[in-house]
């Protein structure tokens, strides 16, 4: 090895050490910072900057917001379609939009389903309501025993409104409902629908337990799209759902603690990554949705404590470009959300972390006592279908005996032959 090479390696090592010393990993929240002296070969790791659902109490004055869907109508493993969970220190929990694929992320929060009974839908695009049937009917086998309550806007005419959409959804799933009635405690299958006027400006649509939710019009798709403003305990949360920049959002989101607004990919990336034609990219990206520059302009007028952009495929090669363009028009606090990002919001602090997810999720036990179903309301098979069933009594009867003995019941199989 010649002297120059040795010198080069020595300089390289010195520079590396200097970099490590001068850029230690900065903890996001200094209250949780622990020195490296806390590490031990026999003790658990010091507190990491990760959120583990189901393990943290919400403080009485805190709002916890979880991004459960931040992507596009086409769901992909990394990002479901639009859905945001807001949990309050008073115990209330609210879902804002319930887009395709988000139910899986919601289940990962390990929250009993009876608490997940309030859904606010900003508009009736599939990426904002696609998993509603799954939460509604799937939720009944996850032990939700209370009705699912749904708030959504009217449309230009009744057939474009939320109430009609919910009526049609119940018709669409009549077979599914038929299989469950009289078989399980199906009280959770009840739907409570609250349609409100899409053109109400800052009208109260929910006011319970100290929580007020207002609706403001959005400009997106057709008449019948809205954004939401939720206020509780001096905290203001604004959820845009989908909208191009509009005067109502700028006025009523003002001074929000957290302001969420769509932030689409710039038209350049809609062409190169999404495969849009230039015309489509410009029209969809700036006239039907909000480009990063437009998003930044909105936030520079709203001046929230934290601006959150979502609704784009957020990857290593798109996020820097989106951020750069937002920064042309907005210099305040900013997050560009991905699924499972968590925001703990109080008057003094906004903490942002990612979640670690347990994939093997089971339902929480029912919070209410289950009522045995009225089997008379069960729909029976035709004689034709019954004639094909193989009851295998020699196999099935012992299974019934086992449960009847364990729980003191006297349940009999349907198929006896
Ligand atoms: Zn939409
Ligand atoms: Zn959307």
Distances (CA, A) of 111 to 70, 186, 321, 334, 388: 20, 19, 36, 28, 41
What domain range is 325 assigned to? 50-355
Instruction: Say what the pLDDT of residue 182 is.
Output: 85
Beta strands in 22-179 (DSSP E): 50-51, 63-69, 83-88, 93-98, 118-120, 148-153
Taking CB atoms within 8 Å and a gap of at least 24, the contacts of 391-397 are: 391/415, 391/416, 391/417, 393/417
CA distance 317 to 406: 58
CB-proximal residues (5 Å) to ion ligand 1:
125, 242
Give yes or no: residues 312 and 387 share one domain. no
Q: What separation in Å is there between the alpha carbon of 370 and the centre of ligand 1?
A: 38
Q: Per DSSP, what are the bridge partners of residue 211?
A: 208, 232
CB-proximal residues (5 Å) to ion ligand 2:
127, 242
Give domain status of residue 366, yes or no.
no
Give yes or no: residues 259 and 334 share one domain. yes
Tally the domains of the chain.
2
Q: What is the reported pTM? A: 0.89
Ligand at minimal distance from the CA of 225 is 1
Q: What separation in Å is there between the alpha carbon of 183 and the centre of ligand 1?
A: 37
Low-confidence ranges of the chain (pLDDT < 50): 1, 7, 12-34
Give yes or no: residues 273 and 344 share one domain. yes
Instruction: Say what the pLDDT of residue 2 is.
Output: 53
CATH code of 137's domain? 3.60.15.10
Q: What separation in Å is there between the alpha carbon of 291 and the centre of ligand 1?
A: 14
How many residues does this entry show for the chain? Answer: 417
Give domain status of residue 151, yes or no.
yes
Give yes or no: residues 344 and 404 share one domain. no
CA distance 322 to 408: 62
Give yes or no: residues 272 and 167 share one domain. yes
Give yes or no: residues 247 and 303 share one domain. yes
Q: What are the phi and psi torsion angles at 204 (to 5°)?
A: -75, 125
Give domain status of residue 7, yes or no.
no
Give yes or no: residues 284 and 205 share one domain. yes
Largest Cα separation within the chain, whole Å, is 94
CA distance 231 to 253: 11
Give domain status of residue 38, yes or no.
no
Give yes or no: residues 268 and 412 share one domain. no
Give yes or no: residues 320 and 415 share one domain. no
Instruction: Say what the pLDDT of residue 39 is.
Output: 72
CA distance 192 to 375: 24
Q: Last residue of some domain: 319, 339, 355?
A: 355
């Amino acid at each position: 090895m010649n002297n120059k090479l040795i010198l080069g390696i020595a300089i390289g090592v010195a520079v590396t050490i200097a970099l490590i010393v001068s850029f230690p990993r900065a903890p996001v929240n200094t209250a949780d910072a622990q020195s490296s002296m806390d590490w031990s070969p026999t003790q658990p790791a010091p507190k990491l900057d990760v959120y583990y659902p189901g393990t943290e109490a919400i403080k009485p004055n805190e709002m916890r917001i979880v991004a459960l869907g931040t992507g596009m109508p086409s769901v992909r493993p990394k990002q479901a379609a639009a859905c945001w969970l807001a949990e309050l220190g008073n115990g209330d929990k609210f879902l804002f939009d319930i887009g395709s694929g988000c139910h899986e992320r919601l289940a990962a929060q390990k929250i009993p389903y009876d608490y997940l009974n309030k859904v606010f839908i900003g508009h009736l695009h599939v990426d904002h309501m696609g998993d509603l049937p799954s939460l509604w009917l799937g939720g009944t086998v996850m032990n939700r025993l209370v009705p699912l309550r749904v708030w959504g806007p009217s449309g230009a005419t009744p057939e474009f409104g939320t109430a009609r959409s919910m009526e049609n959804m119940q018709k669409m799933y009549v077979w599914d409902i038929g299989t469950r009635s009289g078989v399980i405690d199906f009280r959770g299958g009840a739907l409570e629908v609250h349609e409100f006027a899409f053109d109400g400006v800052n009208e109260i649509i929910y006011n319970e337990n100290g929580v007020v939710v207002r609706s403001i019009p959005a400009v997106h798709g057709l008449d019948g799209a809205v954004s939401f403003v939720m206020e509780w305990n001096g905290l203001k949360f604004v959820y845009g759902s989908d909208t191009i920049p509009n005067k109502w959002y700028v006025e009523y989101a003002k001074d929000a603690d957290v302001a969420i607004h769509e932030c689409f990919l710039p038209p350049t990336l809609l062409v190169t990554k999404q495969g849009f034609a230039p015309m489509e990219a410009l029209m969809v990206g700036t006239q039907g949705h909000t480009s990063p520059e437009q998003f930044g302009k909105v936030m520079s007028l709203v001046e929230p404590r934290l601006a959150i952009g979502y609704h784009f495929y957020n990857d290593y090669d798109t996020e820097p470009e989106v951020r750069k363009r937002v920064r042309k028009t907005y210099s305040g606090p900013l997050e560009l959300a991905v699924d499972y990002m968590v925001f703990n919001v109080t008057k003094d602090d906004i903490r942002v972390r990612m979640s670690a997810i347990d994939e093997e999720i089971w339902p929480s036990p029912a919070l209410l006592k289950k009522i045995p179903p009225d089997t008379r309301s069960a729909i029976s098979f035709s004689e034709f279908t019954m004639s094909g069933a193989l009851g295998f009594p020699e196999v099935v009867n012992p299974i019934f005996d086992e449960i009847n003995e364990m729980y003191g019941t006297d349940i009999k199989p349907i198929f006896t032959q």
